[in-house]
Amino acid sequence: MAKRIVILTGAGVSAESGVPTFRGPDGLWEGHRVEDVATPQAFDRDPRLVQSFYDQRRAALAGVQPNPAHHALARLDSAWPHGKDHDLLLVTQNVDDLHERAGSRRMLHMHGDLKSAWCLACDSRTPWTGPLLDAPVCPVCNARGHLRPDIVWFGEMPYHMARIDRALARADLFVSIGTSGNVYPAAGFVDLARKAGADTLELNLDQSMASDRFAQSRLGPAGTLVPALVDDLLGTESSAR
Ligand code: OAD
């Protein structure tokens, strides 16, 4: 029976909230090639394009709400025991704030957070809800025009890797939800979890690039599959007590 759980989410968990996934059928992310908006080189070349792209994504958060998958994961977080034997960590690749708005607390944003700005002058991070295009002043050091989206771009190091690696090394269940298995290191978490002896489960609308590395795959929308999984986990846990 699972006691120490690590859950990885990707764009598919937010799809039913109306947040577009990264890889649409045309391979574009909201009309842009990833290299044009999600690399440090793109930011050096055309900072206004990159800032306005993320400003639009940040502003769009006001129009979307957590869906049943986010709510179910928050329910699991509040009910799952915390202690020597039990643990739970939700790792999201998403930069939206829907997990925390649903109430998840034991969670990490490994690819950054749209609602955070990073000052390249003083290296501080500040909660941010407005635009960055108009070169606002850093509230910590007062320098103007040095704030960038606090997003991990291609070629940059994902956040919190030491904590994630530790949790994977102790996990007895790893669940991946709504991610295409395209982007490392997240795409390799299933292998680390298996190496640690964990059971592995994938929930996705379709087969992903990583499906054959999971012990089990369930196909369907996250808004249906995730609440059912959480019911199972909490049901088994309470009957074991
Ligand atoms: P993708 O857009 O590559 O993949 C989304 C996945 O979600 C696909 O496998 C879909 O089948 C699945 N999916 C779509 N709708 C779903 C639903 N309703 N229920 C369940 N699954 C559904 O997004 P990610 O794999 O999350 O990185 O992308 C990973 C990273 O690549 C992103 O974090 C971002 C991106 O470029 C950076 O920006 C660094």
Pairing mode, if any, of strands 173-177 and 4-9?
A: parallel
- Segment 204-219 mean pLDDT: 96
pLDDT score of 116 more than 90: yes
Higher pLDDT, 241 or 209: 209
The span from the CA of 172 to the CA of 30, in Å, is 37
227 lines ligand 1 (CB under 6 A): no
What are 129's two structure tokens? 């809800």
180 lines ligand 1 (CB under 6 A): yes
Question: 94 by DSSP, 3-state: which?
Answer: coil
Task: Report which ligand 1 atom has the smallest distance to the Cα of 16.
Answer: 18
pLDDT the model gives residue 241: 66
Element (H, E) at 78: helix 68-79
Q: Do 178 and 206 meet the contact criterion of CB atoms below 8 Å apart?
A: no
Q: Helices (H), strands (E): how many in the chain?
A: 9, 9
Per-residue DSSP letters for 112-141? EEEEEEEETTT--EEE--S-STT-PBPTTT
- Segment 22-40 mean pLDDT: 81
**Listed range (59-63, 78-82, 84-88) with the worst mean pLDDT:** 84-88
206 lines ligand 1 (CB under 6 A): yes
Predicted TM-score of the model (pTM):
0.96
pLDDT the model gives residue 27: 62
111 lines ligand 1 (CB under 6 A): yes
Task: Report which ligand 1 atom has the smallest distance to the Cα of 10.
Answer: 26
How many angstroms is it from 90 CA to the middle of ligand 1?
16
Among the listed residues 86, 111, 146, 160, the single catalytic one is 111
Strands (E) located in the chain? 4-9, 87-92, 107-109, 112-119, 125-127, 147-151, 173-177, 199-204, 216-219
Element (H, E) at 15: helix 12-15
How many angstroms is it from 23 CA to the middle of ligand 1?
7
Task: Report which ligand 1 atom has the smallest distance to the Cα of 179.
Answer: 25
- Segment 121-148 mean pLDDT: 97
pLDDT the model gives residue 93: 97
Nearest Cα to 95, choosing from 80, 108, 104, 85?
Answer: 108
pLDDT score of 235 more than 70: yes
Nearest Cα to 209, choosing from 237, 188, 169, 180?
Answer: 180
Q: Do 111 and 93 meet the contact criterion of CB atoms below 8 Å apart?
A: yes
Residue type, 201: L
pLDDT score of 13 more than 90: yes
How many angstroms is it from 138 CA to the middle of ligand 1?
32
Q: What share of the chain in percent tops pLDDT 70?
A: 98
What are 232's two structure tokens? 């199972």
Is the four-CA dihedral 61, 66, 70, 76 of positive or negative sign? positive
pLDDT score of 110 more than 80: yes
Q: How confident is the model at residue 169 (pLDDT cuts 50, 70, 90)?
A: very high
pLDDT score of 62 more than 80: yes
Element (H, E) at 72: helix 68-79
Q: What share of the chain in percent tops pLDDT 90?
A: 87
pLDDT the model gives residue 26: 64
